[in-house]
């Protein structure tokens, strides 16, 4: 906002005109940005690994169709409590002049977010061997619908905003947060990977998959909610271990994500580590029940470089980066799987609830997955 070019006169903070103008100015500077990883998102879908990790895998073609419905109504900050957003350092209000900063005034940010995604994957494992492993490839192109609605509750403790002006402040801030609401449905980012699969005896296996994620998804840098994650690439190697016992099966998949900088926003999301795990027991020849879960840890912090953007775009794209902020979350829940005739088809359902989230959303997800050899 440009400064006034005419003399400024002293004004009272109790002035209704100033209060209304200042409410708008503060609202324009308030956003849900105190999260790690850009917009609190990452390209790997935590929880996608389940009973498929311990399903039989022999050379041939496979198709997998995971469907996930994720809902979150909590946005956590670095302390594990409800995330907050700051006010600007100062606000210029035409024609009243520059309003002092309100450093103590922060807004508790609420969220109501839903993600519905179909993650169709095609995999081929050949009879060709390299270093004792069968080699192959896998490709996945998601179809995603993301919805997000934001609310805010300012905490006026320690601020100089008079009580009569606070409703106008609150209305302006909530209006600004509501402007970030979105509902977008489109294709997501394409994943391609080679595979190396080792069978270790009759009961263990290891799979290595170095994955490259391409920015093919629908994305607008100035839009808060997108089907794609951004204009950047992700290199994502993973190692999966499976133990198939007489009763209990154990599977785990460790995933590292290394991102390039998003050219649309100048934002770099730090490196991430994901671990999906499952512990399942056969209760009949074809049915397994058990528990599954995951944990997410961001290994390095985020940065943003806006030097290549115009001053106007810098104001729009700027994020609140807090040194040391890293995203993390855990999840656990029940699962049931039906393995037809020892491997003709796998059908699995599970419900995973997140806890101990930091710098990201906290919610729950329902997964339904069909895996079938062709």
Encode pLDDT of 72-113 as tens digits.
999 898 888 888 877 654 444 444 445 555 667 788 888 899
In a domain, 231, yes or no: yes
Least confident of 9-18, 131-140, 334-343, 353-362: 9-18
The string of pLDDT tens digits covering residues 15-40 is 433 333 333 333 334 444 456 777 77
In a domain, 64, yes or no: yes
The CATH number of whichever domain residue 228 belongs to comes to: 2.40.160.40
- Residue at token pair 């580590």: 273
pLDDT for the residue 22: 39
The string of pLDDT tens digits covering residues 86-97 is 765 444 444 444
In a domain, 170, yes or no: no
Q: Which two tokens stand for residue 294?
A: 């995951």
Q: Average pLDDT for residues 222-227, to the nearest whole number? A: 86
Q: How far apart are CA 238 and CA 235, in angstroms?
A: 10
Residue 314 CA, chain-centre distance (Å), reads 23
In a domain, 168, yes or no: no
- Taking 60 as the threshold, does the pLDDT of residue 317 lie above it? yes
Please report which confidence band the pLDDT of residue 257 belongs to, taking 50, 70 and 90 as the band edges. Answer: very high
Domain that holds residue 147: 47-86+107-151+183-373
pLDDT for the residue 7: 33
Q: What pTM value is reported for the model?
A: 0.84
3-state secondary structure 70-81: EEEEEEECCCCC
Q: Mean pLDDT of all residues in the chain?
A: 83
In a domain, 72, yes or no: yes
3-state secondary structure 304-318: ECCCCCCHHHHHHHC
Q: How many domains does the chain fold into?
A: 1
In a domain, 77, yes or no: yes
Please report which confidence band the pLDDT of residue 154 belongs to, taking 50, 70 and 90 as the band edges. Answer: confident
Q: Give every CB contact of residue 81 below 8 A, 6+ residues apart in sequence.
A: none
């Amino acid at each position: 906002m440009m400064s006034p070019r005419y003399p400024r006169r002293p004004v009272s903070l109790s002035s209704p005109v100033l209060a209304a103008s200042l409410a708008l100015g503060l609202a324009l500077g308030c956003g849900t940005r105190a999260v790690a990883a850009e917009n609190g998102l990452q390209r790997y879908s935590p929880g996608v690994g389940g009973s498929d990790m311990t399903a039989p895998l022999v050379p041939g073609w496979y198709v997998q169709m995971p469907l996930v419905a994720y809902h979150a109504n909590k946005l956590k900050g670095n302390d594990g409590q409800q995330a907050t957003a700051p006010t600007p350092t100062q606000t210029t209000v035409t024609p009243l002049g520059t309003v002092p900063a309100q450093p103590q005034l922060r807004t508790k940010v609420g969220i109501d977010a839903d993600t519905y995604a179909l993650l169709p994957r095609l995999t081929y494992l050949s009879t060709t061997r390299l270093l004792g492993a069968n080699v192959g490839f896998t490709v996945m192109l998601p179809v995603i619908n993301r919805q997000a609605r934001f609310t805010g509750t300012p905490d006026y403790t320690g601020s100089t905003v008079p009580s009569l002006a606070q409703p106008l402040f609150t209305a302006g801030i909530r209006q600004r947060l509501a402007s970030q609401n979105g509902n977008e449905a489109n294709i997501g980012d394409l994943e391609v990977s080679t595979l190396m699969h080792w069978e270790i005896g009759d009961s263990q296996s290891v799979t290595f998959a170095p994955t490259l994620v391409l920015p093919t998804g629908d994305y607008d840098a100035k839009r808060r909610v997108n089907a794609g994650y951004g204009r950047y690439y992700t290199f994502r190697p993973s190692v999966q271990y499976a133990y198939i016992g007489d009763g209990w099966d154990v599977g785990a998949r460790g995933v590292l994500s290394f991102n390039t900088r998003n050219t649309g926003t100048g934002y770099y999301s730090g490196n991430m580590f994901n671990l999906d795990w499952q512990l399942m027991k056969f209760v009949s020849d074809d049915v397994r029940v058990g528990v599954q879960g995951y944990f997410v840890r961001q290994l390095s912090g985020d940065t943003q470089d806006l030097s290549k953007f115009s001053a106007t775009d810098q104001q729009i794209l700027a994020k609140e980066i807090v040194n040391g902020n890293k995203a993390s979350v855990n999840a656990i829940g029940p699962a049931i799987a039906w393995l037809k005739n020892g491997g003709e088809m796998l059908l699995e359902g599970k419900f995973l609830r997140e806890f101990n989230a930091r710098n990201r959303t906290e919610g729950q997800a329902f997964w339904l997955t069909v895996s079938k050899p062709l």
